[in-house]
Structure 1
Amino acid sequence: MSEAHSDQLLSEVAALPALPGVYRYFDAQGQLLYVGKARHLKKRVSSYFQKNHDGTRIGHMVSRIARLETTVVRSEAEALLLENNLIKTLNPRFNILFRDDKSYPYLKITGTREAQRPLAGRAPSASTLFPRMAYYRGAVDKRHSYYGPYPSAWAVKESIQLLQKVFKLRTCEDTVFANRTRPCLLYQIKRCSGPCVDLIDQADYLNDVANAERFLRGETQQVLQMLEQRMLAHSEKLEFEQAAEIRNQMSALSRVLHQQSMEVGTDQDVDVLAVKVQGGRACVNLAMVRGGRHLGDRPYFPAHVEDASAIEEQLANTADAVDGPEGAPSDVAERGAVDESERTAVRVLEAFIAQHYLGAPMPPVLVTSHVVGKALLEALSEQTGQKVHAVHNPREHRRRWLEMAQKNAGIALTRLLSEEGSQQARTRALAEALQLPDDELEALRIECFDISHTAGESTQASCVVFEGHKLQNSQYRRYNIDGITPGDDYAAMRQVLTRRYGRIAEALKAESGEAALPAGADVAVAVEAEGADPNELLRGPEESAIAEARSGGEMPAAGPRMPDIVLIDGGKGQVGVAREVFQSLGLDLACIVGVEKGEGRRVGLEELVFADGRGKVYLGSDSAALMLIAQIRDEAHRFAITGMRAQRAKVRVGASQLEDIPGVGPKKRARLLQRFGGVRGVASASVEDLATVEGISDELADAIYRALH
């Protein structure tokens, strides 16, 4: 195998130190292939090049290695954390990868921490005097208390409703709270104690807030005892109405505890992790217990499971011989995983734990379906500053939690395999209908365009991408269309296709030695991706390693990539425009496919129109190929409409006024508009009201006020 590699690469391998670290393999195009860790870099990396791996997945990977990079660290724990940080950030081709999900919601109680600090002369806000509950996603503000994370928005809102029933805390915005003159409907239905109109003393309200926080921390018995003491104290003073109110609170809390059949244990915060592996795919089901309450679960599906597991399996013997076990199958076998699917499950579980909890809060106890390695737990303990335990084969209520998580993992994986099977069948049916080769359906790429406007106003074009049997929403693009007659869809389509494919055509001609496009050709691409996951660098010693791996110093840009199918939502007219654009750019007309409405514009009667002279094709209303085309076309239509509406709203309400204020980015602008109901509401708000919005300091609030006045 080493004969296929350059002398420079082999000499770099021979010169590696006998220290712990992380290694990265790149191919000739600069694409990251694999990230691994080692206690002994030289021995571990050398093992890849000392054995013939022909005909295997690892052989396929090793044959592509053109460049090596390493980072030396102080310990194996540090190497493990850096390895998974790089995997999350750089998405290597042959590692088990979980999508970086930062979208967990929290339950926020405002002002509780600010009340514990001196205000430096400032008057306390309503959020401090009478804290409110709120659903929250985003960055943490030290003035407030946050409980969670919760697995879903539904779990947060259910908890808020529960706390409203028992403790009657307010949920209204500060601006609403400050301007109430009579109690709202929530007071009438006994979901709020009416602090906005002084129907409860501040001290009593803050007692309710403190009890709600204790309940969220799982201190339910302490809450009941404190309520009982308050009830008896009121009774002794002959304050029977107040005593009855507290008695009702205790009854409501007792009913809630009785209804929560899953919450019979004494656990405070626990995560339950179950893995299911089947058909080359895997699912990790994460169930969350917070404050002793089971809040629900969420499935995660890693990428590259089959390739990564095969590589680690094939590396086992060589790796153990030269470097000892490092999560290799022999190490996994010691922890009870005897067959290949079980070993894969352990690898998937450990990859999830390492990647999911990097830089994120985690509970002190994990209940797992498989045994987790000690090195991983030690690394997480070192990172979090608290001892992390993993419990396998649990008892009592924990066993019920784990059994439920295992069942849900199996259900989610079965559903995924069913959906993937049907989607692949649709892709194959479309390839057959269009007479495309079906040997590389994973690489089949479809780009679909749609135009949207309202009577010519705020015209936008959308481009959605289908590849790898699924829609790739991180590659979606929107184009603002300017310089055309309002409502001219043909001109809009001409403009978007020229901008989309002009640069690709220029690059293809440059490669073939032909003349480039005329100077000044409109090939600029206006980009706005929906659903893209931003790569987030973690602070610390890993940062330079990530940046180095990302840039690589020598990575060439990816070459031009024309789609196999350019799908146009329109009939002969739109296809004719596409034909003119492609002819002027020198591109293949065979890839242009139009979707023409059928008789009476009825769904299922659509016909395919081609730009290269082929006759129309009717697929049939029950055709799998038509189902796929309809799915892609409808997504392009949805994406265009949402962009057009946002652009129209921006023009009509003048959101650009906020954009021009230094320090007001998209998130702060969205919070301001949401809080005050539009730019007019922001303009009419006082400096004090503006400062109550998350992320808006007193100085920025003053700057916003001055800019809008």
Structure 2
Amino acid sequence: MLTPASTGPRLLAAPLPTGPGVYRFRDERGRVLYIGRATNLRRRVASYGGDLRDRRHLATMVRRIAAVEAVACDSVHEAAWLERNLLERRLPYWNRTPGGAEVPVYLRLDARVGSAGLRVVHTVAERTGVRHFGPYLGGVKVRLAASALHRMLPVAYANDGLRGTGRELARLAGVDPGDRESLLAAVAAVLDRDQLAVTSFGESLARRRDAAARELAFEFAGKLQAEIEAVAWVVSEQKVTSARAENLDVHGWSDGLLVKFEIRDGRLQDWRQRRCGEATARRHLAGTPPAWTAFAQRNAELAARLAGEDVVAES
């Protein structure tokens, strides 16, 4: 049983980090009331203690909040995926819809002669000479990112046999078939999140935006800014949803609290927490892959801060 919180959402939010993540409200019996995501966890959870504005339908729920649990994510994109995964698996009473409004998509990088280019697609079709990146949430954002990559690294203009407008655009871009391999490698480096490639690409796009602003082409500068933000969304850290259909359990432990993250078919679909001793925890921690260690440990420490002296019920 959770101890009722008489202090309200604002004080419950105090131990939360100011970065992105997903939060989960429970009532005094340990039942999940609501799951949400935030760009700033502390500010978002604290907001339930003030004027709810367009969330007034949640006023009854707020009076029932006894505790908050949270997962700190490495990016807003990751938080969006985690919220979607959790809500698709189980929809608490006060959540209205399973998952978010963003559409899952992939970026397909085609290296084949005659069809080279980057496209937004909804499914993965394995073909020789084709790589898929993602999945990503948000068709609009991903299309803007694809537009930015084509603007700066126009692989499609390096195809053989271009005619008419395509040939003229390639000429204006200073691109020919001999550039195809280097352009493909540059696009792949950005989408693979190579830090040097991402930084260089972002700086080049920002210079193009600033030049447009100096020339008073404010509409174009605004489009470039939107593309910069979209590229940041695409290349941000995101591990809670993968194209690999892997199944594993990831554990973190801190101050007597064991947190278990359940990954099924490549999606982090749930997290549970319970008290246990260090010896018991060690057996679970041994099976956590290195790529997940920092994520799990950080969130176990957060769970311990939020739980305090309360016994945390499992989902």
TM range (shorter): 0.3 to 0.5
Between structures 1 and 2, the one with greater strand share: 2
After TM superposition, the score normalised by the length of structure 1 is 0.19
Pair member with larger Rg: 1
Q: Highest relative contact order (Cα 8 Å, sep 6+), 1 or 2? A: 2
